[in-house]
Structures are given as structure tokens and as C-alpha cells.
Structure 1
Amino acid sequence: MKRSVFLFWLYSNLTILCIPIVITMLVLFQSQHLLSSEVIRSNKALLNQVKQSLDNQFKDIKRMGLQLSLDPKVIKYVNQADFNNSQVKIDTLDLITSLRSYAASNGDINDLYVYMKKGHFGVTTSTMNQDELLFQLLHGGNKGITMKQWSDSMEKIYYGNFLQFADDDMVYMQSLPIQNASEAPATLVVTLNAERLKAAISNIQIAQAGSVLILDSTNKLLMTAGDSDHVSDIDFEQIRSAEGTFSQKWGKEEVTISYVSSVENEWKYVSIVPTKIYSAKVSQLRSWIYAGLFLCIFVGGPMSIWLTRRHYMPIRRMVDLVSPKVKSNLEGIGNEFSLLQSFMSENEALQVTANRTIQKQQDVLRSHFLARLLKGRVESGSALAQSMESFDLRFESNRFAVLLFHIGDYDALFNDNGSRDAESKLQYVYYIVTNITEELIGRKHTVFTTEVDGMIAFLVNIQNDDEARTKQDLIDIAQEAQTIIQGKFYIQLTIGISDIHPLLTGIPQGFDEALEALEYKFVIGPSQIIPFDRIKRPKNELYYPLDMERQLINHIRTGQYEEAMEAVSELIVTNVSDGTLSLQLGKLLMFELIGTILKAIEHLDQGPNELAVEKHALIKQLTQCESFVEIEDEIYKFLKTVCDYVDSKKKSHNTNLKDQVLSYIDEHLADMDLSLTSLSLKFEVNAPYLSRFIKEQSGETFIDYVNKQRVQLAKQLMTETDDTITDITQKVGFSNSNTFIRVFKRYEGITPGQFRKGDQP
């Protein structure tokens, strides 16, 4: 272990030293590539300059050939049929003059002539000669073409083409007239000044450094500028695309060949540059780089060793100092850094454990102090100030309020099938509620949190003097916290909010107010926000008149659930509508309502065990209710059960009464004294009730039901007997025939006489 870090650092420094060496080599190779690319790019640029220059010159020649082919004198001359008259000589002189002016306008032209195919002669810029003499004068000095080849070329059709008759004999040829080139009688020939073109190319830098070639569309060599000794060595088959670059041998040296194509005449311009021209610069760059590498290795190497040794010595002294204090096994430690890390880790772990223990104790003590401060159980004066300083409690103002959170159901938050114990769940809920609420309150005020008697208390240090606005701010904060916590975490919250109090002595009063407001959830139900302002002026009288109680008992006894529920609702609304019902009166109202319902049950005609189970269930549910609203719901449920029971009893009784009443009416239809009064006396039921009962059971009023039954009996008698209408009137209970006839027609649409005759309505 003694030298491991030293060797590691030494290898590291040497590795770092190798980085610039590797980078330098990469730079060398990249520089060579870039330099070569730059030279090639420069060659292409110069070659494009050559192409542009020559293309412009050849374009001028083409333009001149086009102008000459459209010249009226030329057209007139070549279209003549007879060249033996005297006028032809005058026209020839005019043509010579025109040709001379065209030739003088372009310095790249040696001479030009118009060859007449039928006459086998040509007109030049100075004279008119037969074909043999013309060939000898203009092309005879070239060994590359014979008279026969030249004569054959004159007979062909041309559309403005550049040709090479021999090595230094380049011409431009155009059939005349251009309007009828396929049957042209003449050919325009322009001989180019090859030496001048070569001189123009030679003035460009690329030709001075190497050679420039001009090839036709078939890669045939047309012109050479510069060294042409080894042109035959070039593999022209590699020149296929519009432009490109390749390398090959030129005699005994390496050359770079670049080429571009001309759109103007489909020629290719080729540059040949010896590679040694730019490789010399690469060699110079390589020399400088090698010198730098030498310095890196033979100067940087010893420096790395010296610096490594110098930096290692403080580490060595630290290791000698801490190694006796490391508790872990030294044999398992790889190097000095591992030893130091082990020492620091052990110390850090001890420090973290100590800090965590101290922080937990501090949090517990601070929470306990805040709880005592809220309940008013702390010292006063300097002792209080000292305690607050020790617990880092700093109030920025002397105005305080208390928010008290009661946590309700939170089972929906956990879907772990009991994997957490109840205490850890509750701590997690406290953590959620505390963090969200502290964040919301902390935006405007300073807040301190503690747990008091299973509730979460927030001591708010108010930061502004507008009391009304601050109270509304606290309500808004409570609403936002409740919305977030209940909406996202399914934790039910009831929140009590105190008034704002000055000085530290007002904090206990604020806590009592928040606690009292929170207890009021029994009246208005859970998951509410209850400011103390809402309950500090409660009602002290309970509205529960005797006639309302009697009315409720009657509704229950008659099984009228809707009316009974309406009566209960009226009592509740009346008590809470014009003020805040105190907690005590709220409980008293609930007990009074329950007592009234039980009193009504005692007056029902029931067996000893009927509704006993329901009453027992009601008492059990009431003991588990936590709010006025829950008790109210249980009362409504029990009311529904009782009224359904009474209604079922009443329906059973009504069925028997219906059968008896309707049977009695059917049996006494002939009785003229049959009436609601006689029926009520018979069945001991008051007449109004009996009238409603018959309407409910039959769907018709008593009079309609009786009259319809009498009419049906009369129809039966008129069909089955020969009794007179008067006799039938008495048998069906009518006092006179006129009444019977009027009633019969009312229900049947015809008179009894018409019915007996068989008439239909």
C-alpha cells in the first residue's frame, strides 16, 4: 500500500502527458488531409477559371460564326447557282471584306473561310482559291491531316462544332446557311490561334506549376499547355463524371489530376499538378510536430515524476497520522485514498448519527414547547425569551392566529393491503398535511407547526396590519389546503381558525378559539372550515313548540313519511336559519327529535317485538355519529322505516275496508237513501275520509261510482226483463224517471228507451 497512490498518480500524469501526443499525431494526419484537400480545391478553382476563360472565348467565336451565317451577304453568296458571271466577282469581293472584318474583331482567330461544296473552292479573308490551293495555304503545313481527310470533312454537316485537324490546328465549323443545314451548299471554317490560347492558359498559376489539357467529349486530346512529355501516361478512362480528382504516376513522380467539364462545348479541362508541390509544406509541418513530441516526452516525463512525488508527500503524512485511528481492517484497504476514505466515512457516520439524534431531540423539544405555548403553559418574561431563542423561534410581529386541523378518514390514501402499520400511516398523513399547509401559509406569513392532542396546530405569525383581509387570507389558505389534500390525497380535514390576537399572551386564547370552532363540526358536519367568527355569537334558545311535536307524532302514526321528514327539516332549518346554533343546543335538538319519534312509536298499535330491532340499531348508530349531519341522516332513515311499517299496516286495513265498502254499495244500489253519511255511520269512518278513500281505491268519486253501478244494473234489467222504465228506475235506486234518464244519458250517451230499441250512440 505504501507506494500504490504514488504509482497511480505517476501513471495518471504520464497518461495525461500522452493525450497531447495523441492529439498532435491526429492533428498531423488531419493537417495532411486538410492541406491536400485545400490544394485540390485550389486546383479546381483555378481549373474553373481556365474553363470560364476559354468558354468565354469559344462562346465569342460561336457568336461570331452565328452572326456570319446570318449575314445577308453570306447568305446571298452561298445560295447562288452560277459562279461564272461577272456579278459573282463583285459579290466575292464583298464577302472577302466582310470576312476580314469578322476576323479582325476576334484576336483568337488566325483566319476564316467559306468553302463552297459544289464549286470546290473557298473564300478567305484575302482571296478566293480552289480547294487544293486553299488546303495547302491554310492546312498544308500540318502533318496530322491529308487533302482527302480535309476534303471529306468539308462535305459533312456541322452545327457549330470545334474540331482538331492536327496537333496545333483547331477549327470551328458551321454549315451554311444555318436555316437549311442538312442541305447546306457551303461550310464556314474558322481556324483558331492555338498559340494564343496556350499563352492565355500558361498565364494562370495552375499551368505554371504543372500542365493543363483540353479534351473533347470522347476524351480525345485537343490542346496541351505546359509540360506534355508524359501526357500519354495519363489514364483518360478514369475521366467519366462531370468533375473529379485522382492521382497517378507522371513519369517518375506522383501527380494529382483534377478535371471539370464545360457545358458550352462538352470539353473537359484537366490540370496535372505534381504532389511534391504541397507535400513539401506537409513535411515542414511534420518536422515541427515531431519536435513538439520530443519536448513532450523528454521534458514532460521527468516533470511528471517530480510533480507526482511532490504532491504525494502530504498524502503520505496524512496516512501516517490517521492509520492508527481507523477501526476497519487495514489489510483490506487497497491504497492511501481508501484508508483516508474509510477514516472519513467512519467519522461522517458518527457525525451524521449524532446530528440526527440531536435534531430529533430538538424537534421533539421544540414541538413540545410549541404545544405548551399554545396551551399557555410556559414561563413568562426572560425565561420565555430564552426558551424561544434556544428553539430558534423568531416572531417578526406581535400578531398571531391559530389554525387547528382535525384529520378524519384517510384509508383511501393507502392501497397496500395492510403493509403499513397504523402509526406509520398516521405519520405519513401528518407529513403530507404539514408540508402542504406550511408551504401555503409561508407565502404570506411565518408559520410554526406542532401536534396537539392528535390534531395538527399551525401558529401563524401575521405579517400585515389589515385584520379583515388577514382573516379572509387565512380562510382562503385553509380552503386551498383542504382542496389539495382532500382532492389529491383523499385525507378528510376539518379546520378551525381562531381570531387574530396581539402579543404572545394571546396565543393560548387563539388556540382555545380554534379548538372551540373545531368542536362545532358536530353541528355542521366534518370536512368543514370553521372560523371562530362563525360561532362566537351562538343562539341560546331552542325552537321546539308543542304543536310541532304533536304534528310530527301524527305524521308518524299515519305513516306519512314525506310530511314527517318535512316537519323535521322545518324544525332544523328554523333553529339554524337566523343564527349559529350552539353546540349544546344542537345536541339538545337532536335528542328532542329522537325522543319525539320514540314517543310516536309507543302510540302505534304494534306487538311487543315489532320495531325493536330498528330501535336498537338506531341507538347503536347514534352513539357512533360524530356530527349533527350524521345524526340527522340516521333520524331520516329511522323515520322511513317507521313510516313504511305504519303504511304497510294501513294498507292491510284499507284492503279489507275497500272490499266491505264496495260490496255494501253493490248490494244496496236499490236503496234511495244510500249516501256517504249512511256509509260513514255503517263503517264508523268520518265522511270526508271515506270520500277520499273511495276516490283512492276506485279512481272515482262516490257519486260517480254509485251512478255507474246503477246504470250497469239498469242495462242488465232492460236486457233481461220486460220491466218498464219506471219500474227499473225504482229498482236501481232513483227517486224519479227524469233523474234516471238524465244520469243514464250522461254515462251512456243515449236514453234508456233508445238503449232498449238497440240504438247505438
Structure 2
Amino acid sequence: MKRSIFLFWLGSSLVILCIPIMITLAVLLRSQHLLNSEVIRSNEALLIQVKQSMDAQVRNMKKMGLQLSLEPKVLRYLEKKDYGSPAFKLETLDLIPTLQTYAASNGDIMDFYIYLKQPKLGVSTSSMAEADILYRNFYSGKEMTEAEWRALMEKNYPGVMESMAAGDLSYIQSLPLQEMNQAPATLVVLLNTDSLKSAISSIQLAQSGSVAIVDAQGRPVMWVGEQIPASGMDFQGLEGDLGTVVDKQNTISYVASEEHDWKYVSIVPTKIYSAKVSQLQNWIYVSMALSLLIGGCLSFWLTRRNYLPIRRMVDTVSPRVKANLHEIKNEFSLLDRFMSEHQQNLDVAEKTIRQQNEALSKHFLARLLKGRVERGVALAQTLESFGYRFAGSHFAVLLFHIGSYQGLFHPDQEMDEESRLQFVHLIVSNISEELLAQQHTVYSAEVDGMAAFLVNLDGEGPEALAGLLDKAKEAQEIIQNKFLIQLTIGVSNIHSSQTSIPQCYEEALEALSYKFVIGQSLIIPYERIRISKNELFYPLDMERQLINHIKTGQYEEAMMAVSTLISTNLSGGILSFQSGKLLMFELIGTMLKATEHMEPHDDGLAQEKSELISRLLGGETFADMENMIYQFLRTVCDFIDARKRSHNTGLKEQVLEYIEEHLADMNLSLGALSLEFNLNGPYLSRFFKEQTGETFIDYVNHQRVRLAKRLLTETNATINDITEKVGFTNSNTFIRVFKRYEGITPGQYRKGE
């Protein structure tokens, strides 16, 4: 057998082991997601600080440009046209301190100059110089040619931030603002990029990555940080004012400037902030692997250790299980099957032992009633072993003879006669024992088909016997009225010792035998039949009169003679059982004498005589036998009377016509025919055979088969329909009769086989 329970336990342990591991893994994934979200929010918050700082610088530049455009000295200077005159030079010398003052007021400014477009010269915070000299002073060695610089200076600017050379950031504005389209000069403020980068780097963001300022075309204006991304990085896909883009290598967060068309972008390598997460993840993976390894080994060891006792039990019980082992799914099912079968065997054994003990106890009680047990000390020990305990020393016996009980069962109820009789005995025993036990100690048994009750009474005398008879009457009424079971009860006298129990049984049996004379469904105490009449009145002249009445077919006179004989013998006291039987046999003998002169070939009458003798010998009561004698008298007298009319030629046609009209009637019988024509049954049977040469049954079956053959060939009716139309009770009987007369079944006849 497969170790299915072992595998199930091992799998269950591993599943339980995997639960905390799966929870840990879920927590790890969730923590990683939360950490990523937190890093992104932190980057965006720091980037907003960078934006606020840079936007403040741009606002300061715009403010300073506005102030310079409104400065009187600057305006007067820009109005000068004689660029080579001494006065112009003096104005320049006077302007330079003013420019120095503006430069000193803002620490983020490295320097600035005003470029005059017409004379091609510029004024800085330290001197005035030609354009080429000015270019060399500020942009020499940088990635911007002089031509490119001059072109930038000739344009008009409303005030913008530009990266004029790599790494430089400048604020450019045309002067004056009032003449923006034809401005004669251009203000260029050179920002201190080192100061700006230092300020940005102080916001921890750039310490772990890079910060870039990107213009509207996605070109980096300035970089801050130790790790400078590749120049090919695409910043044109950064849409919206705020957002984050995460790829395999970097986390890119950006925010749009409120003062310029720039975007401030942070580039943080993913590995920087995921290193600790990766380390934690690695530790968790290692711990999960160790947990699976160690937990799996422990689960296997513990499961195997706990499984071994079950395996030994399975090896022990598997040969004893009756079921097919291949159909059993696991060891628990096998053990459950074994325990169920074992319990069933125990229940069967216990039930068998209980039934055997009960049967032995009942058998012993029956033997005790019949006086077939040893007396003395051995009897007392045997009574004790079977649980018979008597509270007093007075005993009586009741015998219940069960008569008709067919009303208790439904006609369609499927139960054999033996089972029905056992059920009836159970009802009688339980009800009677319960009622009698209300006042006395009672034990019951079945003796020769009768229910016997040994009653141990508390007292004796007429009062005790009257109480016992009342309980017997109550039990009889309940059983007869509610369960339709006919009972005749014989009750013994009360005796005062255990040794008198067999005598009690004999008295009850003798009292019960008088049901033949007194009748059934009565309670017959032994005291009532103790004095009975043994004289029989049956004079010879009355016997001769009865014979003459029978021979002449005079039923009324014959019945009156029998009634006179019976009533005379029953008057003046109870006729003894033996005398009653003798009277019945005398009457039977007389009727047999009266029928001796009849012809020996009268089979119907001979059969009636044989059945009469059988019924009379089995008669249970005097009244039953009397009724059977009257019936026989009616049969004989009707036979004699019918024989006188046997030559009635019109009777045959009437009978045959009646049979033809009633072939479909399932109740068509010789009895129904005799009632229809007011004739004796046996006589009608003989008459029918004399006239047709067939018995009544054969003739009816022939006619029904003839009708069935016509219906089979001329109609499409089913076998069941034809069965009803020809008067059979069911199709099986019809098929059997048809085959007996035709040699084939109805179906074969219809097919022409």
C-alpha cells in the first residue's frame, strides 16, 4: 500500500513551513516597493528645493537687470554717441564703480558687463575694452568662438538665462528695456556657477547622484554631481511639471522651473539606494533557503517518527480487512474500515450472544412449565443463572392462543408467514407482560405456538385471581381492538410453591382446550371448566330422521335435526372437551351414512365429503365445526335437488351464453355462475361437464384464447390490453394459459411463428 498518510503529513508540514516564508517574501516585496516610493518622494522633495533656490537666483538676476535698465548713469551712458571723446571715457570711469556696487550686492554673481553694439566695445566692473579684448578676458579657452559670441551679442534679449560656454551660466538682457527691439546694448551677467553648484550639492540630492538643468530643447545647461551621465541621455521625454522615470540603471526625477523654461533633473543610480535592499533581500533569501532545508529535514524526520506507529498498525490489520485493499485510499481509511468491521463483528457477536441467552432463557422457562427440569438446589441455581427471581411463593400460568391476525397486515405487504407470526408473538408478549408486570413479577416464553406467562403473585385467594383475570382482560382488549389479533386465554388456579409451576401450566392448557366447546376470543379460567358434563345425547331415531332428510334433499329439516341434537347436548352445563369432540364425530358419521347410497362416479360430492372430513378434523371450536356441518348439508341437499333437474335442456344454452357475454369479466367463476342460475356449485360443475365434455375452467380458457387469437390478428392492441379484454388478471397468467393451449406465446402467434 502506498504511504499516502506519510506523504500527506509531510506535505502538510511543508505547506505550514512555507506560510511564514511566503509572508516574509510578501513583506520584502512590499518593503522594497515602499522604499522605492519613499526614495522617489524624497528625490522630488529635494529637487523642489533645488528649483526654489535656482528660481530665486533667476528672480534676482531679473531684478538686477531691471534695476540696471533704470539706472540713470546707465541710461545716460547708453545715450552717448561720441564714443571716442574724453567725456565718454569720463562717463565710463564714473559708470564702473556703479557696476561694481551692483556686482558686490549679489554674492552669486562672478562678474558682468555691458556690450555696446555700435562701437563694438564693452564695459565691465573693472574696465572698458574692445570686443575682441572683452571676448578674450571672459571666454578665452572655452568652447565658444569669437564669431559665435559676437552673434549672441547682436541679438535682442528680454532677459533670459543662457549657457554661453560649457560650464558657464549667464543672464542676458537687452538695454534699455524701453527700446527692446532696437536695443543699443546687451547686459551679460556671469553667474558664479561654483557657488550655485555648491549650494545644490549641499542639498544631499547631488551627493548620491547628479543634478542637471535642462533647457526647453532638452539640452543640459549645467551639471552638478560626481557622476555625470552620458551625453547621449535623452531629456526630451520629460513631460509635465513634476515626475519620475525609473529604468534599470537610474531613477530620473524632474520638476519644471516657475521662472524659466528650464527643468531641474536629478539622476540617481538605482544601485545606490537599492544596495541595502539587495543586501536585505539576499539575507532573506538565504534565511528562507535555510528554513526550507532545516524545516524540511525536521518535517521529514518528525513525520516519519509519527508515522511509524500507524504503519505498524496498518501492517497488523491489513490482512484482517475483508475489503479490497486496492480500493482503500489511505491508511486512515484502512484503519477506519478495520475498526468498522471489527465493531460490526462485535455488534453481531453481542447480538448473537444476547439472542442465544434469551433463547436459552425462554427454552428453560418452557421446560420449567412442562416440568422437565431438575428440582432442588440445582433448580434454584439455574433460575438464578437465567435471571429468574421470584418475590413471593404464589404462582399462576396464563396461556395465550393466537387466532386470526390477518387484519394486522396489509394484503400487499411483503412478509412471509413465519415473520408475521413472530411479529404477532412479539406484540402479544410485550403488551401482556407490561400490563401483568404492573402488579406482579412476570416472565414469558413461547410454548408449542402459544404465548405462556409465568406470574409470581404477591397474594393468593379469589381477590388475587380476580385481579389477574382483570389484567388478562385488559391485555386481550388492547391486542384485539388495536392490533386485530384474536386471543383465547387459559388461566390456571393460584398455587403456593415453585414445584407447582408445571401443575399451573397443565391447568392453563386444559382450560384453553375448552375453547373448542365454549368458543374463541374468551378468557377461560380453570376454575370454570373444573366441573363439566360428560353425558352425550344422541338417540338412534333422531339419527335415522337426519339420514332421511339428507337423502331426500330436505335441507331445512336436516338442519333443524342437527340443531336440536347440538342444543340438547349443550344445555344444562359445560359439555366436556371429549364429549364435544365425540358429538361432532357422531354427526359426521351420520352424514357419511346418508351419502353412501349416492352413485360412486359423482366426483363433486366425493370431493366435498373429503374436504368436509379434513376441515372438521382441523376445526378449532365447536361452533366452527357446526357451521361446516351446515355447509355440507347445504351442499348435499343442493346436489340431490339439482340432480333432479339435470335433464333441463335449456340450461346449457343459457350457461354458454352467459359465459360468452362475460369472458372479459375477471370474476367469472363457477361460484358466480351458480349464484346467477341459483344452482349448487358441485351440481353445476357436473352438469357442465356432462353437456360440454369439458370442465368449466377448460371451457372458459378455450373461449378466452379463441377471443385473444382474434384480437391478436385483427387489432394492434398490446398484450396488456388484450389480457384485460379476455378476462385474465395479469399478463403472466394470460401468456401461460395461451401457451398451454396453443403451444406458443401470444407474441409469437402475432408474428406468425
Which has the larger Rg? 2
TM-score, normalising length: structure 1: 0.39
TM-score, normalising length: structure 2: 0.40
